Chains A and B, each alone.
Chain A
Amino acid sequence: MGTVGGRMGEWFRRLIGRPGTVDLGPYRRLLGQVGDREPTVRELPDEELTASVTELRADESVAGADRFPTDKLVEFSALAREAARRALDERPFDVQLLGMMAMLSGNVIEMATGEGKTLVGALTSAGYAIRGRRVHIASVNDYLARRDAEWMRPVYDLLGVSVGWIGQDSTADERRAAYACDVCYGAVSELGFDVLRDRLAYEESELVVPEPDVLIVDEADSVLVDEARVPLVLAGAIEQSAADPALAELVKGLGRGVHYEIEEDARAAHLTNAGIDRVEAALGGIDLYGVEHMATLTAVNLALYAHALVERDVDYIVRDGRIQLIDDNRGRVATLQRWPDGLHAAVEAKEGLVTSESGEVLDTTTIQALVRRYPTVCGMTGTAVAVAEQLREFYELEVAVVPPNVPCIRKDEPDRLYVTRDDKEDALVAHISSVHGEGRPILIGTLDVAESERLARRLRRAGLECSVLNAKNDAEEAAIIAEAGREGAITVSTQMAGRGTDIRLGGRDAQDHDRVAEIGGLYVIGTGRYSSSRLDDQLRGRAGRQGDPGGSVFFTSFEDDVIVRHASDTAVPSADPKTGRIEDAGGKWSMNHAQRVAEGELLELHRNTWRYNKLVEVQRSTVLEYRNKVLHSDLADKELAERCSERHAELLGEVGAEVLAAAARQIVLYHLDQRWSEHFALLTELREGIHLRALGRRNPLDEFNRDAVPPFLNLLAEVREQAAETFRSVTITPEGVDLAASGLKRPTATWTYLVRDDQFDEGERFMSTMKRAMRRPK
């Protein structure tokens, strides 16, 4: 934006309210003053630095204020910069302070990779904390949450701000301690699941999450857009329901194309007529589609899905005799996640493993609902402008672009496009070998675990030693990343290295930095386009940090998933017959088009999750309002006393008021949770088939909203009724109520579900295929 024309353009875009154009001018003007304060602050001993911050914190004009008063903001910026310099030996650049100020005003900032977003996030959270706010920093995953918290701890210490972090293995007490800190780091899913788990608490003392206040979202586009498509589902264990291994065997004997077919988009598989005949015969000649065989048919379908569409080492790995899911977006193992609705058991049967417990959905939430709990939200990422409109639509957030400290000099080469996957891989290996010959470190981003391993094997056969980073060896992540910038290093990775990782040139301690920079810096190779150009850009962003040299290129082919799934009808343009390389501009257009289609579909998914959740959210908040009242007061006791006064009086004499109130609370909460879980299952079922209404010219969303209301109307009344019934019959001793003895078993373990996108969007996909025919010429 150096030129006058560029500035005019930016000014005009801001004038017409284009996203991504928050004006940083006012903050830029403060930077001079911050610089003036620097020499004074530098003289302060550590204790006095901390004391100055504490003083600022006690100041009435700062604590509890909506905004920082300008002079205090300058003072804080100077102190924060000095604290970072002392603690990390990194003096924050002007642009970093600029980003911090923009975030303190509640914006999402876009900062290039390697510009020190983590530090900006830490300084921002300290800024909120000294204003008396409680800050949660949502990271993409546990590894980053923990790394950032530990890395930034010295800075926080100097500023007198306490910091904690939570991970998926943290205990409830550890979580409570972490949340009690001024600043708490955690993966966004963990923050969400804690909220969900709190909704199951029977006593106030079981609660974990404090009142939400400020949320800082790291990798904002990934969390707020990509992850927001997948609802967070909390399930409770119920009795075993093993999938039939015989069915898994039967399905293994079916032939693709003969007995079953897979959709082009690889999201659904179904039996052909021949397949139905064969399965029916194998099951003793039943009519599979008869009403009475519904359960069998479901089991067959699940077995088929597990066999045909869930792939080992792509969707899951088997470790210690257990299925472990791989998170699509992050390329990591998600230990506490499972597939919903019997699919998990079906996959276990396929692998011949012991079936674990199955669960029932207790409640879900969405990232939107989670983020909207916080009165103040801000965020940071390397790619925000591309999703600025969505951030505005779904979260009412504005985007500010923070310029890089040193301009990026990375060379992004145009894609190399091939006809077949084999052509692509041949060229890929040849290219790696030639770049490796120059000694440049290479980072190769693959699309899944299986591909990363296949490629690593090929490279090793070609005599190129490489390290592999994927979900299977995530323990060595830090070590692998530290060495990835070493001269001559070849690192094959999945999406794991695509975000948040900082690859320094010259390996550990960057001792060879200058030499590696001289030969061209890190070279990033993508083995295929991701479903969104943002993910591509993130991968490229691993190279060229802080003005280092670097390069990037993507190798793509017409057999890549993105083309096959989203632009399958495109003709393959002419190619070099020997290498299979396509130079034709139309081919490149097709690739971009396929990616745009994928992006469009994902956006539609996101919007649908949001739309359909609106009403559910209203119902849920009604239930939660009642639940909180019961949890925090003796409402349950009063209500039951009113309904069954005799029994209540009798028990009051036997066990005393306190025990009785607790028992009443537990009874009501049990039934409330149970009824909500049932109601939610009903809503899910309704949602699943609602798209069919479009065939009758009805708007599915309106139909959903209408049909979802009647079953809800009596929910609370029924809960009270059931609670009263239990209250009359249950045994209450001075030790409390024994619900389990009355067959009312509270779910023991809880875990989280990874809901595959297609579980919910099939209806939408169905709609879009039907839409062309259904479009009315009115």
Chain B
Amino acid sequence: MLTAFVRAFRTPDLRNKLLFTLFILVIFRLGSAVPLPGIDSAEIRQCMENATASGGGVYQLVNLFSGGSLLQLAIFALGIMPYITASIILNLLTVVIPRLETLRKEGQSGQARITQYTRYLTIGLAVLQSTTILAMAQSGQMFQNFCSPSLFMPNQDILTLITMVFTLVGGTAVIMWFGELITDRGIGNGMSLLIFTQIVAVFPSEMIRIWQEQDRWVFAVIVAAGIVMVAAVVFVEQAQRRIPVQYAKRMVGRRMFGGTSTYIPLKVNQAGVIPVIFASSLLYLPTLAVGLLGEDSTNPVVRFLMTYFDPTQIHPVYMATYFVLIVGFAFFYVAITFNPADVADNMKKYGGFIPGIRPGRPTAEYLDFVLSRITTAGALYLGVIALLPMVALGTAGASANFPFGGTSILIMVGVGLDMVKRIESQLQQRNYEGFLR
């Protein structure tokens, strides 16, 4: 991986792309640290420390994606979430609204229109989200009443609030632009890289916190465990089962190739990080419900939820539910994204077949057979990765957004691997000098 970067830096246009990407990311991080107008940054930092020390809130996951800038009420507080949400919504709408579907079919020009709609929707969502966040901050809900809003928001008149909303929405637009700039002129997918940056950004402060609060050897164990986990994730993420495919539609003269290059790669973790994100979002619902119902311990529902589903306590029931949800979502996701019948049908259309197996139904059945087995392994792996840190480190006193949390590692490794692949691919298109001699 490092050699790839070194070689990339020796290639002038690749170096420029990398530096450009880095430049955008630095500006992005700077903006994540600049507080909104009308916010007392020293006070809000204090509030945040109080809040995180006493356990997660509803916005923990969201905060993770914003690199900690959400709770700081920075100008980039909303992060990339509005854009991601907007693209998900538009993707879903494409299925529902025929007009969008027809646009998508028109290729590039249609796709450009859809991108434009996504941008508008992002701005809309940003307005909605910024007002919600400001309302929560103003009412003190954001920090679960650990500190008074008047401390960090000394000025609460309508003009200041409007300025804040404008700044937040503007920040979102700028982030969106950053993402597109990276995709166009830099390297890698801009959106994924921005998420990556935000997750990595909380790393140092979290490490320092553990260093300060825990024993030295606990710190050492955590670091070692983290490295082992990253290595394991890298390993499994690359793992795939290759199902050979042959195309019998051309006579290629005298030569016959082994056909080793043509295969369907079935990844062990075909679903990626999404099941984990879905499961954790779902598990925040009980906490949210408790927040809405009030922490009235006489209410049996509240008592039940607080006993079993308090994210700070990590009850075995909580863990079991989490695990089951992840495994379930993994199967669900693979089922909706990889339809063996469709794949078999498409292969049949274009003259491809798996050697020894008839096209059509038999092929679909074979694919299904392999897929269900490999997904079982993948789903269990996802569950374990997500749960391990909770079991091992939850007891050691690290919070849920601890840097080696399952979600963060999966995203980090995913984006990192993707990045390396892209750089290598670009290198291979250019660096042929070395091969000539």
Q: Which of A92-100, A427-435, A552-560, A593-601 contacts B (4 or more CB under 8 A)?
A: A593-601
Residues of A within 8 A of B106 (CB): 593, 596-597, 599-600
Q: Give Cα distance in the complex from A682 to B261, angstroms.
A: 9
Q: Which of A310-318, A520-528, A694-702, A719-727 contacts B (4 or more CB under 8 A)?
A: A694-702
Given A301-B248, A600-B105, A689-B261, are A773 and B339 neighbors across the interface (CB < 8 Å)?
yes
Residues of B within 8 A of A600 (CB): 105-110
A295, A614, A705 interface centre (most CB from chain B within 10 Å):
A705
B358 touches which of A289, A713, A778 (Cβ 8 Å): A289
A685→B259 contact, CB < 8 A: yes
| A368 → chain B closest CB, angstroms | 15
Given A597-B105, A696-B267, A706-B424, are A290 and B91 neighbors across the interface (CB < 8 Å)?
no
Residues of B within 8 A of A765 (CB): 350
Q: Which of A199-207, A410-418, A615-623 contacts B (4 or more CB under 8 A)?
A: A615-623
Q: Give Cα distance in the complex from A276 to B422, angstroms.
A: 42
Q: Is A644 an interface residue (CB 8 A)?
A: no
Total chain A interface residues with beta-carbon distance under 8 A: 80
A618→B429 contact, CB < 8 A: yes
B249→A305 contact, CB < 8 A: yes
Given A701-B425, A777-B91, are A692 and B264 neighbors across the interface (CB < 8 Å)?
yes
Q: Is A246 an interface residue (CB 8 A)?
A: no
Name which residue of chain A comes closest to B107, CB basis.
A600
Chain B, range 98-136, C-beta contacts under 8 Å to A = 102, 105-110
Q: Give Cα distance in the complex from A290 to B248, angstroms.
A: 12
| B191 → chain A closest CB, angstroms | 8
| A686 → chain B closest CB, angstroms | 5
Given A599-B107, A773-B342, are A705 and B247 neighbors across the interface (CB < 8 Å)?
no
B356→A770 contact, CB < 8 A: no
Q: Is B406 an interface residue (CB 8 A)?
A: no
Given A622-B432, A705-B428, A773-B339, are A689 and B263 neighbors across the interface (CB < 8 Å)?
yes
| B386 → chain A closest CB, angstroms | 17
Q: Give Cα distance in the complex from A294 to B257, angstroms.
A: 12
Q: Give Cα distance in the complex from A238 to B251, angstroms.
A: 13
Q: Give Cα distance in the complex from A305 to B350, angstroms.
A: 11
B422→A695 contact, CB < 8 A: no
Residues of B within 8 A of A270 (CB): 348-349, 351, 359
Q: Is B235 an interface residue (CB 8 A)?
A: no
Q: Is A624 an interface residue (CB 8 A)?
A: no
Given A301-B249, A681-B252, A685-B261, are A263 and B428 neighbors across the interface (CB < 8 Å)?
no
Residues of B within 8 A of A615 (CB): 428-429
A773→B430 contact, CB < 8 A: no
Q: Give Cα distance in the complex from A614 to B192, angstroms.
A: 26
Name which residue of chain B comes closest to A767, CB basis.
B346
B355→A291 contact, CB < 8 A: yes
Q: Is A42 an interface residue (CB 8 A)?
A: no
Residues of A within 8 A of B298 (CB): none
Residues of B within 8 A of A625 (CB): 436
| A691 → chain B closest CB, angstroms | 9
Q: Give Cα distance in the complex from A405 to B404, angstroms.
A: 72
B252→A622 contact, CB < 8 A: no
| A289 → chain B closest CB, angstroms | 5
Q: Give Cα distance in the complex from A604 to B107, angstroms.
A: 7
| B271 → chain A closest CB, angstroms | 9
Q: Give Cα distance in the complex from A302 to B249, angstroms.
A: 6
Chain A, range 599-657, C-beta contacts under 8 Å to B = 599-601, 603-604, 614-615, 618-619, 622, 625-626
B105→A688 contact, CB < 8 A: no
Q: Is B253 an interface residue (CB 8 A)?
A: yes
Residues of A within 8 A of B316 (CB): none
B429→A289 contact, CB < 8 A: no
Chain A, range 162-200, C-beta contacts under 8 Å to B = none
Q: Is B3 an interface residue (CB 8 A)?
A: no
Residues of B within 8 A of A626 (CB): 436
Name which residue of chain A comes closest to B241, CB basis.
A696
Q: Is A297 an interface residue (CB 8 A)?
A: yes
Total chain B interface residues with beta-carbon distance under 8 A: 68
The binding surface of chain B is classed by DSSP as mixed
**Residues 412-435 of chain B, each 1 if its beta carbon lies under 8 Å from chain A, else 0:** 000000000110110011101001
Residues of B within 8 A of A263 (CB): 349
Given A593-B106, A622-B432, A778-B274, are A692 and B245 neighbors across the interface (CB < 8 Å)?
yes
B107→A273 contact, CB < 8 A: no
Residues of B within 8 A of A699 (CB): 421-422, 425
Given A268-B349, A688-B247, A773-B342, are A614 and B429 neighbors across the interface (CB < 8 Å)?
yes
Residues of B within 8 A of A305 (CB): 249
B274→A776 contact, CB < 8 A: yes
Name which residue of chain B comes closest to A288, CB basis.
B358
Q: Is B266 an interface residue (CB 8 A)?
A: yes
Q: Give Cα distance in the complex from A298 to B259, angstroms.
A: 14
Residues of B within 8 A of A685 (CB): 252, 257, 259, 261-262
Q: Is B66 an interface residue (CB 8 A)?
A: no
**Residues 351-362 of chain B, each 1 if its beta carbon lies under 8 Å from chain A, else 0:** 111011111110
Q: Give Cα distance in the complex from A209 to B8, angstroms.
A: 37
A696→B274 contact, CB < 8 A: no
Residues of A within 8 A of B273 (CB): 778
| A466 → chain B closest CB, angstroms | 37
Given A276-B358, A773-B338, A778-B272, are A696 and B108 neighbors across the interface (CB < 8 Å)?
no
Q: Is A477 an interface residue (CB 8 A)?
A: no
Q: Is A40 an interface residue (CB 8 A)?
A: no
Chain B, range 312-363, C-beta contacts under 8 Å to A = 336-339, 342-343, 346, 348-353, 355-361
Q: Give Cα distance in the complex from A490 to B262, angstroms.
A: 53
A342→B432 contact, CB < 8 A: no
**Residues 434-470 of chain A, each 1 if its beta carbon lies under 8 Å from chain B, else 0:** 0000000000000000000000000000000000000
Residues of A within 8 A of B253 (CB): 238, 241, 358, 360, 681
| B118 → chain A closest CB, angstroms | 13
Q: Give Cα distance in the complex from A293 to B105, angstroms.
A: 38
Q: Give Cα distance in the complex from A762 to B274, angstroms.
A: 30
**Residues 230-267 of chain B, each 1 if its beta carbon lies under 8 Å from chain A, else 0:** 00000000001000011111111111010101111111
Chain A, range 560-615, C-beta contacts under 8 Å to B = 566-567, 593, 596-597, 599-601, 603-604, 614-615
Closest 5 pairs between A and B when the two form their complex, measured CB to CB: A600-B107, A689-B262, A696-B265, A342-B251, A341-B250
Residues of A that sit less than 8 Å from B by CB: 238, 241, 263, 268, 270, 273, 276, 287, 289-291, 294-295, 297-299, 301-302, 305, 340-343, 345, 358, 360, 566-567, 593, 596-597, 599-601, 603-604, 614-615, 618-619, 622, 625-626, 678, 681-682, 685-686, 688-690, 692-693, 695-699, 701-702, 705-709, 712-713, 716, 762, 765-766, 769-770, 772-778
Instruction: Given contacts A290-B356, A301-B351, A600-B110, list 5 more A-B pairs with CB under 8 A.
Output: A345-B251, A686-B262, A689-B262, A697-B267, A773-B342
